[in-house]
Amino acid sequence: MGIIRRRRDPNDHELWPIRRVAPHRYLVELPRDLLEVLAAAGTDVAEGLDRSNPAFARLFPPASTNPDVDESYQDLLADELSESRRHALLAGKALLEHNELSEDELTSWMQGLNALRLVLGTRLGVSEDDDPDELGDDHPDAGAWQLYSVLSWLVDLCTRALTDDLPPSTQH
Amino acid sequence: MTQATATPATSSVAPVEVEEPDLGETFDLDRPWIVLVWNDPINLMSYVTYVLQKLFGFSREKAERLMLQVHEEGRAVVSSGPREKAELDVFRLHEHGLWATMQQD
């Protein structure tokens, strides 16, 4: 799994660009051009989504090592998963209109950002030993790695904001 | 447009023969199913912890324990129960981008 090295003061919540402002309400304060890049990337992937394309393999993993069980699951839920993916990948468009999101909106956006990470990470052949900070600016994939790092940072911020609204745990 | 064809009100009331579906391999209905989450190099540790807390109501400590088990041992069992529940749990994990599978215990 990947890990985020946090550079900001973890207690300085008010400076976080994605933060909880009230129960189940969240504020996203990011540069407009970044939001546009993310929304465009999400739209591109959503429009090209194809289960048979190996580039999207991580978005549609097998549900079982048993082919019969997997086939039954795919018959039942594959279309629903595709639709959920599309919805999440397009969720970034809402942020071009307003920057305060409901829990459902932030959750969808986070799932879409994570789906982009999965697609980009697959393309880059990410391994647990990779450190994007060690790549030079002249590396041919430097731009893609930079986007991957930004996506990682945003997904981490979303989880932090959403964690405060988790219901009390039922299993210890 | 196609035109709807009226069905006679006096249709047959004889029992309909239903062909038994081919389920391929047979499964023991009494044995529970388990759902496994597998390690992958892309999903963030913080994200996996959050998803396990959210979907299964785990405490942060338990979710972190399972996340670390996935990270260090390659996989962890996160839920168990009837097949329908396992399918739903796998779906929700897939929806969040985690690599999850189900199998009979």
- Would you call B44 and A1 a contact, using CB atoms and an 8 Å cutoff? yes
In eight-state DSSP terms, residue B44 is B
CA angle, A89 then A160 then A38, to 5°: 25
User: Taking 50 as the threshold, does the pLDDT of residue B12 lie above it?
Assistant: no
Chain A CB contacts of B94 under 8 Å are 60-61, 63, 81
Give the CA distances from residue A117 to residues A4, A5, A58, A141, in Å, rounded to whole numbers and listed in that order: 14, 17, 10, 15
Structure confidence at residue A138 as a pLDDT band (50, 70, 90): confident
* Sign of the torsion formed by the C-alpha atoms of B37, B41, B44 and B45: positive
| Per-residue pLDDT at B13 | 55
Q: What is the pLDDT of residues A32-48, one digit of tens each?
A: 999 999 999 999 999 99
Q: What is the mean pLDDT of residues B72-82?
A: 97
Residue A24 Cα, gap to closest chain B Cα (Å): 14
* pLDDT, tens digit, 9 for 90 and up, residues B44-58: 999 999 999 999 999
pLDDT at A91 over 90: yes
pLDDT number for residue B2: 35
Q: Within its chain, how far is the Cα of A140 from the centroid? A: 23
Sign of CA dihedral A113, A89, B88, A170: positive
Q: What is the ipTM of this complex?
A: 0.89
pTM: 0.84
Chain B residues with CB inside 8 Å of A112's CB? none
Q: What is the pLDDT of residues B78-95, one digit of tens each?
A: 999 999 999 999 999 999
Dist CA A128 CA A118 (whole Å): 14
